[in-house]
Structure 1
Amino acid sequence: MFSKWRKKSAENQVVDMVAPVTGRAVSLKEVPDEAFAGGHMGQGIAIEPTEGKLIAPFDGTVVHVIKSSHAVMVENASGMQFLFHIGINTVSLKGEGFTCHVTTGDAVKAGQILIEFDIAKIKEAGYPVITPIIVTNADEVASDLEKITGPVTAGRDVILKAVLKS
């Protein structure tokens, strides 16, 4: 979680982020959408979810909730902002299959459910359920993110490590 700060040096801090969903963490290159796969949306990682719950991976503030409830942006105490985008082209579902539990401006605690989603319904509608996790203000990061892939459990396994600019 972002509450786990480690000093890398006198100038830079390292932030670890745990998975916001349970599943398999993969490179953004595996996302079937060029905006994410090509890095045009920013640095990050993606998770192929096996459970339909998106949780807050850290204590923070909800910066924005997309009207169709398929995506949310959350900021942590360091000022880093993250976009959690459930599925690809799922905006077309107009909120069907998504239950959002937060609104813009809400303070959230690590482990709190942000959005519940119906994986089967999303797949039946013909959309990939892969969930990109993007650092939206990458200018806060001193270097490339370290991305950790493989099986992950929400709230437990670290998926990203960032060195913050001093």
Structure 2
Amino acid sequence: MFSKWKSKKEAQPSKLSALEISAPVTGQAVSLTGVPDETFSGGHMGQGIAIKPSEGKLIAPFDGIIAHVVKSNHAVIIEHASGLQLLLHIGIDTVSLKGSGFISYVASGDEVKAGQTLIEFDMASIQAAGYQTITPVIVTSNGETEFEVACHYGSVTAGKDMILTVASRQ
């Protein structure tokens, strides 16, 4: 579905031991099983968590590179120096909005810092159009590395509270 971003640098990704990932949005962190879309709730996109946002701002959960921004600006993939990639997907079926209600501040290949605003989204207009704003945060698999993912549920503040602990199984 998404192409793997290739670094222009020849350096190999550093080995991932364990990475603590902070919330990219403020709200309530819940299990993926509560996402009203089988692609996410069934784990078909990968392991992770979902956040019911209380504000319309998506930030970088760690320093990294933007591997991909979906054309309609409702989703982004960010890559950590270890090679770990996260899919941050705002809402369910929000691709149908064709970018309406979303403002992206990044492009593929951009270097970003933890806490940097990636996308702002208008929660009221998304909901008024009949879509949910629940935001899956997915550890994507490149097929080469398997990950152990521990989820941390509850009320979270973007950039402050940890939602995932990810370790490679190698």
TM norm structure 2: 0.88
1:140 Cα deviation after fit: 2.8
| Structure 1 position 75 matched with structure 2 position 79 | yes
**2:61 aligns to what SS in structure 1?**
coil
* Cα deviation digits, residues 7-52 of structure 1 (max 9, x gap): xxxx971110000000000000000000000001110100000010
Q: Work out whether residues 70 and 98 of structure 1, in 8 Å CA contact, stay in contact via their aligned partners in 2.
A: yes
Q: 5+ residue gaps in structure 2? A: 1-14
> Does the CA-based 8 Å contact 2:66-2:109 persist in structure 1?
yes
The change in CA–CA distance for 1:68 and 1:102 in structure 2 (over 3 A counts) is same
Map 1:12-161 to 2 at 5 A.
Answer: 13-137=17-141, 139-143=144-148, 145-161=149-165
Q: Contact 2:16 / 2:82 at 8 angstroms: preserved in 1?
A: no
- Specify the SS of the correspondent of 2:18: strand
C-alpha change, 1:92 and 1:43, in structure 2 (3 Å) is same
Aligned to 2:91, what secondary structure does the other structure show?
A: coil
Letter paired with 1:47: I
Give 4+ residue runs of structure 1 displaced > 2 Å after superposition: 138-143
Contact 1:15 1:164 survives alignment (8 Å): no
1:69-94 Cα shifts (integer Å, max 9, x gaps): 00000000111001000000000000
The root-mean-square deviation of aligned C-alpha atoms, in Å, is 1.4
SS in structure 2 opposite 1:156? Answer: coil
**Larger deviation: 36-45 or 130-139?**
130-139
Please say which of residues 11-20 and 50-59 is displaced more in the overlay.
11-20
Question: What TM-score does the superposition give when structure 1 sets the normalisation length?
Answer: 0.90
Aligned counterparts of 1:131 and 1:140: Cα–Cα separation in 2:
24
Change (3 A) 1:165 1:63: same
Q: Is the 8 A contact 1:18 1:156 kept in 2?
A: yes
